[in-house]
Structure 1
C-alpha cells in the first residue's frame, strides 16, 4: 500500500525574504548561469543548499576521507547554511502537521503569440511525505534509467543536511478525482468552482511567479479529518516517478542504512500498527490521529499529481551529438537507410515530424535535414531482445538503433565521453549543428502519458532523459527536515 504522511515543514518566513528571490528550479535543471543569478538574487536563496559553489581546497565527502579528517566542501557549507537560517528564523518550522495543495498555471511551450495561439493549463497536486519502497514492492515504479554519479552527489548532500529541500514528482491514477475534491473543493476537472468550500474560494497561502512565468500557488491543509480522508484514498494507488529517480533511489538506500542502524523495520510505517491505514485508528486511541513514519528517513517529500486530471504536459528532449571522429552525413544516411525510410527536407521543420504518424525522427546535419521513419520488419529484428512495449518507442529506437548501432554510442560510451547533449528547444539543437559545434541533432516527439504508464507498470525502463515534464516543481516551497 502507498503510505503518505503530513509533516511539519520548514518554510521561509515571507516577512524576512521576498519569496520569488529564494526559490529555484530543481537542482538538475540549473545551469551555471542560473546558479549565478540565484546567488545574486538573495543571500537566502536555496541555491546555497541544493547546489552550492565549489571552492579551492574542497575535500571529498566525509564518507571518503581517512579517519580523523574533517570534510570541508559544498555539502558541509550547505549544512552550516541550513543551520544558520533555522537559527535566525529565516526558515521556521510549521506549528502543525500539514499537506499542501499545489497548483501551477502555465503557458504550454510552443504556443503563444509567435505560434499564433496560446494554450494555458493548470496542473494540480499536493505535497506530502511518501513512504519509501523498493521497486520490487510494486508500489513505486520508475520509468527511466539512473546513473551512480548523480546518486552519490545527492546522498552526500542529504547526509550532510539531513533535509529534503526538493520534491519528487509522483504520478498516480484516480478517475474519481478524490484528492482534487478534498483539497481544491472541486467536483471534478473543468467544473464550476463557484460556491465551493476550499482553496478555490480562498486566497492561496503563497503565490509565486517563476522565471518562466509559471504561477505557483500553495494552500496549507491542517484539518486532520481532511488529511486522513486523503491519505486513506491514496493507500491503494500505484505511484510512478515522473521526475526525481536519482533522489528517490538515493533515499531508499539511505532509509535501509538507517533502518539497520536503528534496528527498525524498513517497511514499518506506524510502530505497532499492522495495517497503518489512518482509518484503523479508533476513537480514544492515545496515539496521534495523524500517521507518522516509523523513523524520519523512512519517508521523503513528494508532490502527487493525478494522471487522470488535466494539466500534465510532457515535452520532448532532443539529442545533439558532438565529438564524433570523421563524422559524415552521407555515410550516416546510407547506414540509416537500412533501418529507416529517408525523406530529405529543406529545413528541420517540426511540423513535418509532428504530422508523421507513428515513430519518426528528424535528423539535422550540416549537409541536410532528413525525416526518418522505421522499416517495421527490420526494426523488429534489430530489437528482438527488447520488449515490444519498449521497441515501439521513438526514444528507444533512437538510442538502440541510431546512437548505438549506427554511431557507436552505447550508454556506457555516452556516460563516459559525454558525446550527447539533451536539449529542450529544437532551435537551439539545430543551431549547434549549423554553427559546427555539433555533428548531428535528432529532433523527436514526446512520450505520451499512456506510453509512460504502460512502460512503468510493466517493469520496463526507458533511456535517460526520455521525458521532460513541464513545468518543474519549485524547490524551496517547503522543506522536510529530519532533525
Structure 2
C-alpha cells in the first residue's frame, strides 16, 4: 500500500496537551459543551463548533460549520498551530495501563479505500457522514485521523524503533492518564524508507473511524468531479490516517443494554434464552466473560453467566462472532431488535465504562417500568476483525471498542 507524507498543521511547541481532544463522536452535545468549558485551546471547540452557540442553536446550521472554519483560521493566525514547510511523517505513541502502541501518521490514498486495499468491517450511517462531510468541506481540512491497522511488518518495526531513539516532538499525559508521544520524521531518507517499507504491506484495515473515512472519500469524489484539470496529486485525493501494527492493539468489549423484554415476563424470557444459551451460573457480583462464546447478563439485580450452546457455534467469519450470535439468537428473535443500528430500544456501551455502567442503566430503565437487560460481551479478537475484512464481509454494528482513543488536533491535513 501507499503512504503519503504531508505538510501537517499541528500544535506549536508547548500547547499540544491543551489542544489534544478526544474524537468528536465520543460525546453527546451536552458532554461536548461541558468538555470545552474553560478550555479555549481544546480542539473540540473546532471539531464540535456547536459548543460555541446556545444549546437551542441547530447544530447542523451553516453558521456552526463556518464557526469551526473561523476558529481553525484564528488558531493558525495566532500561532497556536504551525504548518510544516515540507511533507513529512510522524510517529504517534499512546501508552495505557503500561501497554504501548506506536503508529505511523500519514495520509492514505482514497483510491486504495475504493479498490479494497484499505478494508472496512462496518457499514456507516448517512446522517453521521453528512455532518463530517460538511465539517471537512467548511474547514477545507481533515481534523480527525482514521485509526488503521495492518499485519505486523518487521521492516516497518525496525524503522519505527530507529526514529523512537530520538527526542519526541510532544510528550504529555492527558487528563485520563494516557501518555502521548509524537516524533516528527522530516529527514527525506527516513521518510522514503518508510514509504518503501509500506509498499510491501498488502492491506490496511479500518479499526476505528469508518464514518470519518467514508466522509473523506465522499469529499474527495466531489472535489475530483469539480476539478477538470486534476493531476491525481492533489491533497484531496488522500485522507489523514494513523497506521498501527495489529499485534500492538487491544480491543475492549462493546456491551449492550435493551430497555425492555419485548413484552415477555422474566420467566418467559429466561426460558426462551435457555434454548440458545446455557445458564452456567448466577451470582451477585459483576460477571465479566472470560472466553469466546461466553457472556454476562444483568437482569433484575442479578448477574448470569451464559455460554452459547455448541449446536449454535459457527466457523463463519461473521456468523461466529459473539455479537452475531447474540443478535441472531437473542436480540432479534426473542427481544425484537431487528436492526440494532436504528432501534431505539437498544444502547451500546463501550467496555471502557465498565460493568457498573450496565447496572446503572438497567436499574434506571427498571425504575421507568422495565424490566431491562444488559449483556456483557467478550471482546472481539483483532484476528477476527482482520478475517471479516479479508472475506469482504461486515461485522454487526458496535462489535469493537478500541482504547486508547486517538486525539484530534495533533495533526491536521489541509486539502488545498
Same fold by TM-score greater than 0.5: yes
Corresponding residue number in structure 2 for 1:47:
44
Asked if the contact 2:94–2:102 (Cα under 8 Å) also holds between the matched residues in 1, the reply is: yes
Q: Establish whether residue 307 from structure 1 lines up as the match of residue 235 from structure 2.
A: no
Kept in 1: contact 2:144–2:212 (CA 8 A): no
Q: Which residue of 1 aligns with 2:347?
A: 420
| Partner-residue secondary structure (3-state), 1:241 | strand
Match of 2:363 in 1: 434
Unaligned runs of 5+ in 1: 62-70, 108-119, 186-197, 266-270, 272-292, 381-386
Other-structure match for 1:368: 302
The answer as to whether partners of 2:13 and 2:170 remain within 8 angstroms in 1 is no
Distance 2:355 2:415 in 1: 41
Residue 293 of structure 2: which of 359, 362, 365 is its match?
Answer: 359
With the length of structure 1 as denominator, give the TM-score of the two structures. Answer: 0.79
Q: 1:126 aligns with which of 75, 89, 104?
A: 104
Structure 1 contact 59–73 (Cα < 8 Å) conserved: no
Match of 2:208 in 1: 243
SS at match of 2:242: strand
1:95 CA drift (Å): 1.8
Q: For this pair of structures, how many residues does the alignment match?
A: 407
**SS of the residue 2:195 aligns to:** helix
Q: Which runs of 5+ in 2 are unaligned?
A: none
- Secondary structure of the 1:405 match is coil
Given the alignment, which residue of 396, 411, 416 partners 1:478? 411
Question: CA separation in 1, counterparts of 2:324 and 2:335?
Answer: 15
Tell which structure's C-alpha radius of gyration is larger: 1
Q: Distance in 2 between matches of 1:209 and 1:169?
A: 20
Structure 1 distance, partners of 2:316, 2:229, is 41
Q: State the shift of 1:394 in Å.
A: 0.5
Instruction: Show CA shifts across 1:45-70 (max 9, x none).
Output: 21111112254775686xxxxxxxxx
| Contact 1:101–1:184 under 8 Å retained in 2 | no
Q: SS state of the match for residue 409, structure 2? A: coil
What is the aligned partner in structure 2 of residue 64 from structure 1? Answer: none
* Kept after mapping to 1: 8 A contact 2:101/2:249: yes
Q: For residue 394 of structure 1, what is the aligned residue in structure 2?
A: 322
Q: Aligned to 2:226, what secondary structure does the other structure show?
A: helix
* Cα shift readout 1:91-135 (whole Å, capped 9, x = no counterpart): 22112221001111110xxxxxxxxxxxx1111111011111365
The alignment's TM-score, normalised by the length of structure 2, stands at 0.91
Aligned to 1:68: none
**Following the alignment from structure 1 to structure 2, what is the Cα–Cα distance between the partners of residues 407 and 393?**
19
Instruction: Assess, with a 3 A threshold, how the Cα gap between structure 1 residues 316 and 326 changes in structure 2: closer, same or farther.
Output: same
- Whether contact under 8 Å (2:17, 2:174) holds in the other structure is yes
Matched residue SS, 1:133? helix
Distance 1:236 1:124 in 2: 19
What does the per-residue CA deviation read over 1:282-313, in whole Å, with 9 as the maximum and x for residues that have no partner? xxxxxxxxxxx6212110110011124xx311
- Give yes or no for contact 1:205–1:219 (8 Å, CA) kept in 2: yes
Match of 1:403 among 318, 331, 350: 331
1:99 aligns with 2:77: no
> Any idea what SS the aligned residue of 1:138 has?
coil
